[in-house]
Amino acid sequence: MRKGKVFDVCIIGSGAAGGAAAKVLTEGGLNVVMLEAGPPLDPQKDYKEHVWPYELPRRGAGVGGAGYSDFGLTEFLAPNGAWTIEGEPYT
């Protein structure tokens, strides 16, 4: 009869805490298994934020203080000290 491998620790999820816990525990000499939900990820196609700036669909939409939202091109006015609000305690 075949016996399964025995682990000292089972970590559920490889997020920030899971990854850090696995690193510390394995460096301490423990046998660790990590379980992750979902299919394996391919960084080349599954991470949409790792693209060149020229590949972004809304590149250049923020020129001149304007911003792009789902409602179209809109102007974004950041507080610059020119406006005062009566009773505002912050300066």
Inside any domain, residue 42 = yes
Structural domain boundaries enclosing 14: 9-75
Inside any domain, residue 86 = no
**Cβ atoms 33, 11 nearer than 8 A:** yes
Q: What is the pLDDT of residue 89?
A: 64
Inside any domain, residue 39 = yes
Inside any domain, residue 28 = yes
Inside any domain, residue 85 = no
Inside any domain, residue 87 = no
For 17-38, the pLDDT digits (tens) are: 999 999 999 999 999 999 988 7
Inside any domain, residue 56 = yes
15 vs 72, higher pLDDT: 15
Q: What is the pLDDT of residue 77?
A: 60
pTM of the model: 0.45
For 34-88, the pLDDT digits (tens) are: 998 878 878 777 777 777 877 777 666 655 555 556 666 566 566 666 666 677 6
Helix (H, G, I), strand (E, B) or coil at 8: coil
State the total domains in the chain: 1
